[in-house]
Amino acid sequence: MTDEVRKIVITGITRGLGRALTEKLVGMGHTVIGCGRRFEAVEAVRRALDPEPYFSVADVSDATAVQEWALDVLDRFGAPDLVINNAGVGHASLPFWEVPMEEFDAVIDTNIKGVAHVMRAFLPAMIERGSGIIVNMSSGVGQRAVENFSGYVASKHAIEGLSKAVAKDLPPGLACIPLAPGAIDTELLQRHWGEERSSQHDDPQTWASYAADYILGLTVEQSGQSLRIQTRSV
């Protein structure tokens, strides 16, 4: 059911799909608890929404910061109904051997380890309650490869595998789902494929207008399945 009020945790709320989805879910009346890396950006999103949601500054690549954030969230709200691991970064569009190591490391630390940190922080409370869904944002390149994007491709392949493995570990009543959002006109897409190609796809706000209902409609029976949101772009 999508008409009940949910407690939703979402990471990476300050830009792109994360911000658009956050704005849509808040507008639908759900209790949205979010985080982002930079204080100014987090505050800008919070002040733009009415009623002002509970947002925090937390870098998902920092395991200690995630644990502290989660403890605060669980104390205030209890176990979430839905966790959306959206935070992610890309790297320069270069052959693997030319990608700066610090950029490659940032992709792995955020896109893989960050997702693991968030799941570790929230799953015990969800398991204790006996219900909840984890959605890990994947990508079309989580099941194929494209040139000059090796670190990002590797991270999304990892999210597919990690999500499916966690799904097998979970008790009844819970789910872990890798979800590809489809091709959206985001900063990441523009950086890699160029503005001309990216402009052929839906913008994040348009995407969120239908993606929110899709995500809210996910069920525990879909746990471990690789899913993809069909975009409206031609």
- Asked if 44 and 20 count as a contact pair (C-beta separation under 8 A), the reply is no
Pairwise CA distance, residues 122 & 128, whole Å: 10
Pairwise CA distance, residues 37 & 65, whole Å: 10
Pairwise CA distance, residues 227 & 113, whole Å: 21
- What pLDDT does residue 115 have? 98
**Total domains, the chain:** 1
Q: 56: which strand partners?
A: 35
Classify residue 148: in a domain, yes or no: yes
DSSP string for 87-124: ------S--GGGS-HHHHHHHHIIIIIHHHHHHHHHHH
Classify residue 27: in a domain, yes or no: yes
Classify residue 233: in a domain, yes or no: no
pLDDT in tens, the chain (234 residues): 456 999 999 999 999 999 999 999 999 999 999 999 999 999 999 999 988 899 999 999 999 999 999 999 999 999 999 999 999 999 999 999 999 999 999 999 999 999 999 999 999 999 999 999 999 999 988 889 999 999 999 999 999 999 999 999 999 999 999 999 987 865 666 565 555 554 556 889 999 999 999 999 999 999 999 999 987 554
- What pLDDT does residue 1 have? 41
Single-letter residue type at 185: D
DSSP string for 208-234: HHHHHHHHHT--GGGTT--EE------
Catalytic-role residue among 54, 152, 210, 214 = 152
CATH code of 92's domain: 3.40.50.720
> From edge to edge, which strands make up the β-sheet containing 54-57?
54-57, 31-36, 7-11, 82-85, 132-137, 174-180, 227-228
Classify residue 1: in a domain, yes or no: no
Q: Is 152 a catalytic residue?
A: yes
Give the domain extent around 122: 7-228
Classify residue 2: in a domain, yes or no: no
- What pLDDT does residue 21 have? 97
- What pLDDT does residue 194 have? 55
